[in-house]
Amino acid sequence: MTKSTQTTYDLVVFGATSFVGQILTRYLLEAYGVGKSVSWAIAGRSESKLATLKEDLGGDAADLPVIIADAAGEADLQAMCDQTRVIISTVGPYALYGEPLVQACVRTGTDYCDLTGEVQWIRKMVERYEEEAKSSGARIVHCCGFDSIPSDMGVWFLQQQAEQTFGAPCRDVRMRVKAAKGEFSGGTVASMINIAKEAASDPKLRKELANPFSICPPDHRSQARQPSLKTAEYDEDFGVWLAPFVMGAINTRVVHRSNALQQARYGKEFTYDEAMMTGRGIKGRLTAYGITGGLGAFFTASALKPTRWLVEKFVPAPGEGPSPEAQENGYFDLRFIGKTEDGRTLITKVTGDRDPGYGSTGKMLGEAGMCLAFDVPAEQPGGFWTPASLLDGKLMDRLTSKAGLAFELVETR
C-alpha cells in the first residue's frame, strides 16, 4: 500500500531554519520556485524563525507555505505527515530528536529522507519500524548527505561500469578521498560526539560500531575479511599514503546494506573500505600519522566527560557553518578502485562542486527528496532503504543534472 497522492504538498522541509535546512530551502527555491511544478512547504517549531527565514530569502519565498511542528510533538508530526507525500528532515542529532518523526512517517505511509550518519540510531529504527513501514508503504531513506550519497552512489556507478565492461561486478572496492575542501557541519560533529559518549559506557554498542554489517539484514554476512584502516598505510594502487577517513564508519555500512538490499548484486563476499589520500613521500606519511593521531584524540576526548566540554568549545556547534562564499569555493574528489574476482581493475571518480558538508549536502538532500516524490514508482514497497538501493540511476541523473556532482569512468585495466 502506498500513500494517496491527494495531499496538499509533494514535499515538506522539516527543520528549515537549521543551518543545513536554510541551505536546502534556498536551493529548492532557486531550483524549483514556489507554486510551480513542485508543491512544497517549510516546517519547524518556531513560527518567528520561519518568518525570518522567508524574509532573508526574499523574492518568491514570501509565498512559501509554513507548517508549525515540534520534533517531540506527536500530534504536530501526525498533522504534518498527513499533508505531504515526502518529508526531508534536517533535525539532528537524530539519535536525540529523530525517532518521533520516523515513527509518524511510518504510521502514515509518508516517504522520508534525512542526512543522519548515526549508525546505531539507524539500526534501532530499522529494528523498531521496518515491518510497519513495509505494511504502510513508507519508504525511509537515511544518509542522503555527504554521508553517504557519494560513497553509496559511487559504488553503484562503479558496479554499473564493471557489469558493462567486464560482465561481472567488482568483488573488492576501495574509496579514496583524493581531495576535499570544506568544513565539518556542527550537526555532524554533535552526532560524532554523541556516538563517542554512548559508546564509552556501552560495550555492546562498541562491538556494534566495529561490525561493518551492523545495519544489514541478519542473514547478510560475508566470510571475506573486511578491510578497516586504523592507522597510516601506504596504498600500492595509487602510490600514496593513507589515513583513516572519519566518515568511513557510516559509509561502509550503508554500502553493505545497499548490496544486501540488491540481493548481493556486488557479490556475497564483497569487500569495501574508505580512506583519505595524504600524499607521497615523507610528507604524505607524516600527514597520515598526524590525521590518525588527531582522530584518535578527538574520539578519546569526546568519550570522557572531563574533556568533552573542551571538544565542544572548539568545534562548530549545530546551527553554525561557513559563509556562502566558502560553501561555493568548496569541492570534493573521490576515487574508487574496483577489482573483479579474476583480477581485472576499474577506476572511477565522483566529484562535487560545493563544500561537502554544507553546500553539496544541501543539494544532494534536496534531490533525494525530489527523487522520492517524483521518480520512485508507486508500487515500490515500503521499508528502510538506502540511496543506491531505492533511488539508483534516477537519483544519479538528478545529481549530475542539478546538484553539481559528476560520476566518471577513469581507467580500466
DSSP designation for 61: G
* CB-based contact 174:335 (threshold 8 Å): no
Give the H/E segment covering residue 306. helix 305-314
Q: Which pLDDT does position 340 carry in this prediction?
A: 97
* CB-based contact 331:354 (threshold 8 Å): yes
- 28 is written with which cell numbers? 529548492
* CB-based contact 126:233 (threshold 8 Å): no
* CB-based contact 79:51 (threshold 8 Å): no
* CB-based contact 339:345 (threshold 8 Å): yes
Q: Which pLDDT does position 186 carry in this prediction?
A: 65
* CB-based contact 191:209 (threshold 8 Å): no
CB under 8 Å to 401, separation ≥6 — which residues?
A: none
* Residue recorded with cell 558538508: 357
Task: Give residue-wise pLDDT tens across range 217-226.
Answer: 999 888 889 9
**Mean local confidence (pLDDT), 121-134:** 97
Residue 200, pLDDT > 80, answer no
Pairing of strands 383-385, 233-235: unpaired
Q: Which pLDDT does position 184 carry in this prediction?
A: 63
* CB-based contact 186:316 (threshold 8 Å): yes
- 176 is written with which cell numbers? 579514496
Residue 268, pLDDT > 90, answer yes
- The tally of CA atoms less than 13 A away on the side-chain side of residue 284 is 15
Residue 42, pLDDT > 90, answer yes
Question: Phi and psi (nearest 5°) for 339?
Answer: -130, 130
CB under 8 Å to 163, separation ≥6 — which residues?
A: 169
At 347, is the pLDDT very low, low, confident or very high (cuts 50, 70, 90)? very high
Interatomic CA distance for residues 10 and 12, integer angstroms? 7
Interatomic CA distance for residues 293 and 278, integer angstroms? 14
**Mean local confidence (pLDDT), 379-386:** 97
Per DSSP, the chain holds a count of helices (H) and strands (E) of 15, 14
Identify which of 189, 188, 41, 211 has the alpha carbon closest to the alpha carbon of residue 120. 211
Average pLDDT along the chain: 91
**Mean local confidence (pLDDT), 355-371:** 95
Task: Give residue-wise pLDDT tens across range 95-124.
Answer: 889 999 999 999 999 999 999 988 999 999
